Amino acid sequence: MDKIPFNKPFLTGKELGYIGEVIASGSVGSDGRFTKLCSRLMEERFGIRKTLLTPSCTDALEMAFILADLGPGDEVIVPSFTFVSTVTAFMRTGARPVFIDIRPDTLNMDDALIEEAITPRTKVIAPVHYAGVGCEMDRIMTIASQHNLTVVEDAAQGVHAYYEGRALGSIGHLGAYSFHETKNYVCGEGGALCINDPRFLERAEILRDKGTNRAKFFRGEVDKYTWVDIGSSFLPSEITSAFLYAQLEELDSIGQRRRAIYETYRAGLEPLAQQGLLRLPHIPDECVTNYHMFYILLPDATTRDELMAHLRTVGISAVFHYVPLHTSPMGLQLGNREGQLPVTEDLSARLLRLPFYGDLTNADQQRVIDAIGAFLNSRVATPREASVAPRVAG
C-alpha cells in the first residue's frame, strides 16, 4: 500500500515561472520586485504596518527580540510547549525564558498564568499561536500595557488566521511568520517580521541590512549609506520571494483546501471522540483558524505511542511534538525541572499530529481515519484502565 507522508509542500504551479522571471531580470539579490509584492500583499491583507521578509521565522524572531531591547538578566514569558526557535531566538541577548503552562483547551500559553510570572526583570511576553489558533490576545495586550511590556507574537503557524477579526501577527507590537516547507504557505525556508508599533520601524530596517541605513539611502532620505548600528544579514533573495509570491497570491484557495481536509478529519474522527477514545482540537469562537494542522489527544502516552507505531506499520506517517522546552537538556541546564508545567507535560505526551498537506486525497484521509478507528476500537475490546476525560479550561 502507498505510503502517506506526514507533510508534502503544496505548489500552486506558478513558482518556477516567477523564479525564471527573477533570473532573467538579472537582479537576484534582495528587496526587488517580488519581495516588495509579498510585503505589500501581507500588509494589505493582514493589516500590518510593515512586513520585512527574512530568511526564516527564527530570524524574524531574533530581530524582534533585539528590537525589544533585551539584554542580560531580562526575562521573557513564553510557553514551553513550542518550537525551539521561540526561545533560542533571544538566548544570545542574555535574556532568560520564564516558561509558563498552556491552556488545556487550545494548548496556547495560559493567559491566567502570565501576571504571576511577571517580575521587575520581565520585558517581553511571547505568545505562540499553536496550530494557527489565536492566543487570548486582548488579555495579553492589556497585561502588557499595564506592565509596560513588549509583545512579540510567534505567528509562525498563524499566517492568514484571525483573532476577533484581526490577523495573527498584526496584534502584538511585533510578530513573526514562517514560510518553512512545513507551514501553510512555503518557499523552502523563509519568514517575515511584522512591525505594528511604529517605534520599531527605523531600527528594524537597519538591523536587517548589516546595521546600515541603506534602506533610507534607497528612499533618497540620506545621500550616502553607512554603518549606524548593530545588525546582520536578515535578507532573503528575490528567488525565494518569487517562490513565496506564487503562494501568497493563492492565500484563499490554499486556505480553502486546508479547511476541507480539516473538516474531513473532524467529521471522520467525531464518532471516536463521542466514544471517549480521543479528543479533537478546540477552536474558540473568537478565533478563525488557518487549519495549520490536525492533532488528536489520546487517553495516555502509551496509547499515543502504540497508535503512532501502528500507523507506521500501515504506511501512515503521524508524528508528535514538542518535547517541552523546560525538560529539554538546555531547559534543564537553565534550572527548570520535570513536573514544573503539568498541563504541558501531560498533553505533549498524548498528542499526535496526522498527515496534513494541500494534496492529501480524500481516499488517503479515509485510510488514516479508518486505521485510527480500527486500532482504538480493538483496544476497547481489551479492557484498559484509562479513559479520555476531556479537560476543559476554567
3-class DSSP string for the chain:
CCCECCCCCCCCCCHHHHHHHHHHHCCCCCCCHHHHHHHHHHHHHHCCCEEEEECCHHHHHHHHHHHCCCCCCCEEEEECCCCCHHHHHHHCCCCEEEEECECCCCCCECHHHHHHHCCCCEEEECCECHHHCCCCHHHHHHHHHHHCCEEEEECCCCCCCEECCEECCCCCCEEEEECCCCCCCCCCCCEEEEECCHHHHHHHHHHHECCECHHHHHCCCCCCCCECCCCCECCCCHHHHHHHHHHHCCHHHHHHHHHHHHHHHHHHHHHHHHCCCCECCCCCCCEECCCCCCEEECCCHHHHHHHHHHHHHCCECCECCCCCHHHCHHHHHCCCCCCCCHHHHHHHCCEEECCCCCCCCHHHHHHHHHHHHHHHHHHHHCCCCCCCCCCCCC
Binding-residue total with ligand PLP (CB under 6 A): 14
Return the C-alpha torsion angle 99, 161, 14, 263, nearest 10.
Answer: 100
- Minimum separation from the CB atom of position 226 to ligand PLP (A): 30
Q: Taking the complex as a whole, how short is the minimal distance between the CB of residue 84 and ligand PLP, in angstroms?
A: 8
Compute the least distance from the CB of residue 3 to ligand PLP, in Å. 24
* Beta pairing partners, 289: none
By CB under 6 A, residue 83 contacts ligand PLP: yes
Q: From the CB of 277, what's the least distance to ligand PLP, in Å?
A: 28
Pick the piece of the chain touching ligand PLP (CB under 6 A) from 77-85, 132-140, 197-205, 261-269.
77-85
Question: CB-wise, 101 or 154, nearer to ligand PLP?
Answer: 154
Cα gap 244→248, rounded to integer Å: 6
Nearer to ligand PLP among residue 157 and residue 327 (C-beta): 157
One character per residue 122-161, x = contact with ligand PLP (rule: CB under 6 A) = ------x-------------------------x-xx----
Q: Which is nearer to ligand PLP, 156 or 369 (CB)?
A: 156
CB closer to ligand PLP, 188 vs 211: 188
Q: Closest separation between CB of residue 268 and ligand PLP, Å?
A: 25
CB of 61 to ligand PLP, least distance (A): 7
What's the CA gap between 50 and 161, in Å, rounded?
18
The nearest distance, CB 24 to ligand PLP, in angstroms, is 28
Provide, rounded to whole angstroms, the least separation between the CB of residue 163 and ligand PLP: 16
Stretch that binds ligand PLP, among 81-89, 208-216, 293-301, 344-352 (CB under 6 A): 81-89
Q: Measured in whole angstroms, how far is the alpha carbon of residue 390 from the centre of its chain?
A: 25
Is residue 326 within the footprint of ligand PLP (CB under 6 A)?
Answer: no
Q: Which of 22, 42, 53, 57 binds ligand PLP (CB under 6 A)?
A: 57
Considering the complex, what minimum distance in angstroms separates the CB of residue 227 from ligand PLP?
27
Among 30, 178, 196, 240, which residue interacts with ligand PLP (rule: CB under 6 A)?
Answer: 178
Minimal distance in Å, beta carbon 85 to ligand PLP?
4
Question: Does 244 contact ligand PLP by CB under 6 A?
Answer: no
Taking CB under 6 A as the criterion, the residue among 35, 80, 86, 122 binding ligand PLP is 86
Phi-psi region for residue 71, left (φ > 0), alpha (ψ -120 to 50) or beta? beta
User: Quick check: 32 and 41 in contact, CB under 8 A?
Assistant: no
Tell whether residue 106 is a contact of ligand PLP (CB under 6 A): no
Q: Kindly state whether residue 82 participates in binding ligand PLP, applying the rule CB under 6 A.
A: yes
The residue with cell 511590556 is 149
- For ligand PLP, the closer CB: 78 or 272: 78
Q: Rule CB under 6 A: choose which of 30, 35, 39, 85 binds ligand PLP.
A: 85
The residue among 234 and 262 lying less far from ligand PLP, judged by its C-beta, is 234
Q: Which residues bind ligand PLP (CB under 6 A)?
A: 56-58, 82-83, 85-86, 128, 154, 156-157, 178, 180, 191
